[in-house]
Amino acid sequence: MEALTNSIISVHVDPKDKEEATAILKDLGLNMTTLINMTLKQVIKQKGVPFEVVNPTPSKELLEALKEVDEMINNPEKYPRYNNWNDLKESLLSDD
């Protein structure tokens, strides 16, 4: 019977990332070695990365909202200001 052997993988990671991930894994009852082995098994089974790897693109709505905020910051004189909640509420409820 052939003895099982292990391969060693050495990776460089940010120490803060390692510390945070280790704490989360501990809460889940796992350790880094178990997570890496689980991930590798899933890579093999799925024949690819077992989670979505994307470069998030902001939605059209978010980009428009950011543009609007930028406009408000750069041109505050165009936008009303309220001294208290009641003034704001009154303005929102008015028919103007």
Contact present, 55 and 66 (Cβ < 8 Å): no
Helix/strand/coil (H, E, C) string of 24-62? Answer: HHHHCCCCHHHHHHHHHHHHHHHCCCCCCCCCCCCCHHH
Whether pTM > 0.75 for this model: the answer is no
Question: Total domain count for the chain?
Answer: 2
Tell me, yes or no, whether 4 lies in a domain: no
Q: pLDDT exceeding 70 applies to what percent of the chain?
A: 96
Tell me, yes or no, whether 1 lies in a domain: no
Tell me, yes or no, whether 51 lies in a domain: no
Tell me, yes or no, whether 53 lies in a domain: no
Tell me, yes or no, whether 31 lies in a domain: yes
Same domain, 40 and 65: no
Over the stretch 60-69, which tens digit does the pLDDT of each residue have?
999 999 999 9
